[in-house]
A and B are shown apart, each in its own frame.
Chain A
Amino acid sequence: MKQDYRHIVLLIGLGAVVLLLLGKIFSLQILHPSFKEDADRNSTVYETIYPTRGIIYDRNGSIIVGNKVAYDIMVTPREVKAFDTLALAVVLDVTPDFIREKMADFNKRRRSIGFQSVTMMRTVPAETYMRFDEVKYKFPGFRGQVRGIRQYPINAGGNLLGYVSEVNQNYIDKHPGEYRSGDYAGMTGIEAAREKELRGEKGYHIYLRNSRNQIEQPYMDGAEDKEAIPGKDIVTTIDADLQQYGQELMQGKVGSIVAIEPSTGEILALVSSPGIDVEQLADIGKHYGEIAKNPYKPMYNRAVQASYPPGSVFKLVNGLIGLEEGVLRPEMTYPCHQGYHFGAGHKLGCHSHKSPLNMEESIMMSCNAYYCYVLKNILDNKKYDSVADGLDHWREMVMSFGFGRKLGSDFPAELSGSIPSSKTYNRAYGKGRWNSTTVISLSIGQGEILATPMHLANLCATIANRGYYYIPHIVKESDGVTIEDRFKEKQYTMVSQEHFPKVINGMWRAVNSAPGAGGTAFIAHIDSLDVCGKTGTAQNPRGADNSVFICFAPMDNPKIAIAAYVENGGFGASYAAPMASLMVERYLKGETSRPALEKRMKEANLLSRVKHD
């Protein structure tokens, strides 16, 4: 059978299939330009340009956080030739196993790495890098990439400044699109609060690789490149000298000192002790374990996170509320017989002082009984339906001083403390089953009241301002860095301004009365500076009482308001008062007239008194 048509059929079929192939190829190569872009994208190299992080200044223009150069050691696995692992390990100051493990890992990931570079070591100090640089030629495929790290010229404000570290996956997920693995970000303190300004913007240069993986030219002549935008500098309200001085004073003690400029609300110093040394901040990764293990919890910023009973300094608030409510007049006197007696044999104790006494004297001598009467009168006021009602009004007025809530500072991780309400006691005792004597310890700042040292400093600033405060803040307005308007608004309390001078007189007398007159804070006296202060001795269920002191100076036109809180420091006058006084003197005069006191304070070590978990 002759099949003369069949080869024609087959040839036609061949022609059809070839047309199909050529058609598809034509469509890919000529009709779809997007493949060209895809190929370009495949062969482009992004070189990330890291911006320099903003510098942090103190209020006087000294640098507290700067930058210094470090290096990341990068590897391009495809370019690595056989090399002397031991020699490289010695130069880079790591174990040979570290390098072997890294190289094995890169080898495992070689398909995804391709021609790219990967980081082998991060932030190698410049000295190490110099050693490496000399012998780099022996290790093809290895190179260094400049990377700025933090530098701290002054040892001031470890906790306050916070640290910068490499972002982890959790952090990247929380800030979608902002960070990539290998980026650094501020994690605590000012570094975290002002991360957006400080970090700047990353840039990149795009290059095209040629077919031999050599960088050939900038992609589109650099039209698509983006230059890095350096981070903005931040000027803080901190006085570096005062901050450093405060830290020195607090050495060996657990507690906090917060200093505020009353006329602006700017935080001058924010000491938390024990704190993190700036040396450790620079290389937080290395020291993190050791910091975390420290039983005194140096990461814990007591200035804004510790909730303490305020103790007797809270009498000022009760006094002011009493005056405002009309249940207290400055000339009213109350007796004190070693305390306040109530109910069947109950007594809230007090120390020996003259009796009876008026309001100014009660502040000067810190009489407990006097404020028991004051609080009782506030709560049992006829204009309120019940004690519960009275307490809730009292609470509202207390909170107008900033207590029991976050002050709203720009400093991260601030805690709110707490002020009890009628609900608190209804829960504890049952509705109607408590009265003003049940809660009598509120009168002297004990019981259910908790406040942070920042709250106390803010109270002091409020009194210094005669009735208002500015929300304490730590960043000053400067070029390109704005602060929110709320930091510039006066926050009035619910107590009329006319009542404040009466309290201030008491505070002045507590510090400036002649020795033997009974003033509790004579130790805080500084010649020619009218320091006004109030001591506090707060009960600490774990050992010795806490030493508390707030003061401001000068009396007229105050420049500084300060709160010192020393755990297990005993009487307010033992540690808190002298330290606050020394701080005031340092800030206003620049030097101390009491070197012996200063020495004694710096050298005192109370750590053995502190019981920790």
Chain B
Amino acid sequence: MIEISSHQRGLKQSVDWALIGVYLALVFIGWINIYASIHSTEPSSIFDWSARSGKQFIWMLTSFGLGGLILFVLPPKLWEGLSIPMYIGVLALLVLVIFVSKDVKGSHSWFELGPVKFQPAEISKITTSLVLALVLSQQGFKLNKFKHFMIAAAIIALPMLIIVAESETGSALVYVGFIFVLYREGLSGWWLGLIGLVIALFVGTLTAGSFWAVLLLVGVLVLCSAFMGPGKETGRRLGLGVLFVGLMALVPWLWGLLSNAVQTHVDWIANVTWVPQAGETQDWFWSFILKIKPVYLLVGAGLLAIPFILWHAYRQRDNFLYVAVAAFMFGVAMVFSTDYIFQNVLQPHQRSRIEVLLGLKEDLAGVGYNVNQSKIAIGSGGLFGKGYLHGTQTTFGFVPEQSTDFIFCTVGEEWGFVGCFLVIMLYVFLIVRLILDSERCRSPFTRIYGYCVASCVFMHLFINIGMTIGLMPVIGIPLPLLSYGGSSLWAFTIMIFVFLALYRDEKKYF
């Protein structure tokens, strides 16, 4: 590669045309699939203004105009300068919309200006990204400093919480993706692990039960402390840990045998030595024994071990062990409160979606209907699909929201595995290109912003496609660039083209 100085650069070199190409390809694929998903009920031309495909065409043209404006007309410095006022303005809109919007399926997130509907949560992703990029790129900003970390966390959490208050939990989930940006910018990898562990404990408690969740927690902590402790101890700790976890795994089985025996014994007492008044007092001990569950035993053993572990940590100056003890108590508290959170904090529809996803409840007529029909649509596509406009599943309205959140069903049914693979690969190209372009930038602002864009696209991709194939609960967020809807298309266009504009203006590492 030849290094070219910035003033010598022409348009050709500085604009990432490949990224624009992928962008255009995805938008076009979205448009024709929107038409495919509506053409049976609204038999009209793809350009028919009254149908969704026609409207999407208008959104596409305006988006291209918007993209051109951002890329070629507006000064790139604008974004850095305007980021804070825009962030505050959007926060205000996010709050305002709660009070002025109509109730759309329980959520209050849409502004309605005549025929145009607009969701500030879409724009908020851009402003949050810009402010995050601005703050993280400041000289001397260290994510591992508690104060700095809290600032970054607050920038992300503020819009997220307001969006949760709008009852758009799905959109809020996307903000979790900013953790990847923070990781890239120096946040300890333990935070990623922690979030992963929390999710695993939550799911584990609901599916396998609290005993196994706690055992998982203990196992992970033992494993980590074995590797994080002083070097020579590793093998011994690992051995002891594995032995402990292995023995504990036998507990439920032993407990089953034991409680059977106790039950028999209690029955025997009841049958043989039946004493009218003394009966209760004789039985309390045994009925108490029967109430003990294996998980209490496990947690009890853990709590008893804590003083020894703390002493050990003090002696060995093993700081990780303190963390492990704290993590254990936090994890146990979480496992025991999961049921409470699940039953009382989550809304009923979210609860049932998670239950269906985790296979706790089979509900093909209700919540499971969408996912089941969506899986049928995609599954029936086979290798090459049924052909464009020949899908039966999507066009008969078995799949609801088929042109918006479930647009991937149309791709799956009509284009088959080949189509799915191609579309996902286009997204992978988009994300990888964004990451590699970002890495190439000298300006931290552009780099961090690029990572933000990549994270948002990734979260949408994973949640949306995961939802249509039954990997994720049904969370109503669009597939970037493919799903029908002006708000979403505009937002992702602005997001990507702001990056392109910044990138064009960038001094790069080649």
> Using a CB–CB distance below 8 Å, which chain A residues touch chain B?
1, 3, 6-7, 9-11, 13-14, 17-18, 20-22, 24-26, 28-30, 32, 34-36, 38-40, 42-43, 78, 114-115, 208-213
**Nearest CB on A from B241, distance (A):** 26
Cβ–Cβ contact A29 & B412, under 8 A: yes
Residue B406, interface by CB 8 Å: no
Q: Please, which residue of chain A has its CB at the minimum distance from the CB of B379?
A: A35
Contacts of B412 in A (CB 8 A): 25, 28-29
Cβ–Cβ contact A115 & B396, under 8 A: yes
> Using a CB–CB distance below 8 Å, which chain B residues touch chain A?
39-41, 43, 180, 183-186, 189, 373, 375-383, 386, 389-393, 395-398, 412-413, 416-417, 420-421, 424, 428, 431-432, 435, 439, 458, 462, 465-466, 469-471
Cβ–Cβ contact A212 & B382, under 8 A: no
Complex: A38 Cα to B466 Cα, angstroms: 21
Complex: A36 Cα to B390 Cα, angstroms: 14
Contacts of B421 in A (CB 8 A): 22, 25
Cβ–Cβ contact B395 & A10, under 8 A: no
Contacts of B40 in A (CB 8 A): 211-213
Cβ–Cβ contact B469 & A25, under 8 A: yes
Complex: A211 Cα to B421 Cα, angstroms: 23
Contacts of A13 in B (CB 8 A): 180
Complex: A6 Cα to B391 Cα, angstroms: 42
Cβ–Cβ contact B469 & A18, under 8 A: no
Cβ–Cβ contact A29 & B435, under 8 A: no
Q: Please, which residue of chain A has its CB at the minimum distance from the CB of B144?
A: A1
Complex: A20 Cα to B470 Cα, angstroms: 12
Known: A26-B417, A211-B390. A17 touches B462 (CB 8 A): yes
Complex: A208 Cα to B393 Cα, angstroms: 12
Cβ–Cβ contact B380 & A38, under 8 A: yes
Cβ–Cβ contact A35 & B376, under 8 A: yes
Contacts of B470 in A (CB 8 A): 24
Known: A10-B184, A24-B469, A25-B420. A209 touches B396 (CB 8 A): yes
Contacts of A209 in B (CB 8 A): 392, 396
Cβ–Cβ contact B417 & A6, under 8 A: no
Contacts of A36 in B (CB 8 A): 379-380, 382
Q: Please, which residue of chain B has its CB at the minimum distance from the CB of A41?
A: B376
Cβ–Cβ contact B398 & A24, under 8 A: no
Contact of A210 among B392, B397, B435, B469 (CB under 8 A): B392
Contact of A42 among B390, B396, B417 (CB under 8 A): B396
- Give 3 nearest A-B pairs by CB, closest first: A35-B379, A39-B380, A43-B392
Contacts of B469 in A (CB 8 A): 21, 24-25, 28
Known: A1-B186, A36-B382. A20 touches B471 (CB 8 A): yes
Q: Please, which residue of chain A has its CB at the minimum distance from the CB of B43?
A: A212
Cβ–Cβ contact B383 & A30, under 8 A: yes
Contacts of A210 in B (CB 8 A): 390, 392
Q: Please, which residue of chain B has its CB at the minimum distance from the CB of A211?
A: B395
Q: Please, which residue of chain B has its CB at the minimum distance from the CB of A209?
A: B392
Known: A29-B383, A36-B382, A114-B397. A211 touches B458 (CB 8 A): no
Cβ–Cβ contact B392 & A29, under 8 A: no
Contact of A7 among B43, B391, B395, B439 (CB under 8 A): B439
Contact of A11 among B41, B383, B435 (CB under 8 A): B435
Q: Please, which residue of chain A has its CB at the minimum distance from the CB of B417?
A: A29
Contacts of B398 in A (CB 8 A): 42
Complex: A10 Cα to B189 Cα, angstroms: 11
Complex: A114 Cα to B396 Cα, angstroms: 8
Most chain-B Cβ atoms within 10 A of its Cβ — which of A11, A18, A21, A39?
Answer: A39
Q: Please, which residue of chain B has its CB at the minimum distance from the CB of A38?
A: B376
Known: A21-B424, A211-B391. A28 touches B379 (CB 8 A): yes
Known: A28-B379, A213-B40. 14 other contacts (CB 8 A): A6-B184, A9-B183, A14-B431, A21-B466, A25-B421, A35-B379, A42-B393, A43-B393, A43-B396, A114-B397, A115-B396, A212-B39, A212-B43, A213-B395
Contact of B381 among A9, A29, A40 (CB under 8 A): A29
Complex: A43 Cα to B375 Cα, angstroms: 15
Contacts of B393 in A (CB 8 A): 39, 42-43
> 18 A-B pairs, CB-CB below 8 angstroms?
A6-B183, A10-B180, A13-B180, A18-B424, A24-B470, A24-B471, A25-B378, A26-B417, A28-B379, A29-B417, A35-B378, A39-B377, A40-B380, A114-B396, A210-B390, A211-B395, A212-B40, A212-B395
**Nearest CB on B from A37, distance (A):** 8
Cβ–Cβ contact A42 & B392, under 8 A: yes
Complex: A183 Cα to B180 Cα, angstroms: 62
Q: Please, which residue of chain B has its CB at the minimum distance from the CB of A44?
A: B392
**Nearest CB on A from B420, distance (A):** 5
Complex: A208 Cα to B416 Cα, angstroms: 20
Contacts of A35 in B (CB 8 A): 375-376, 378-380
Q: Please, which residue of chain B has its CB at the minimum distance from the CB of A36?
A: B380
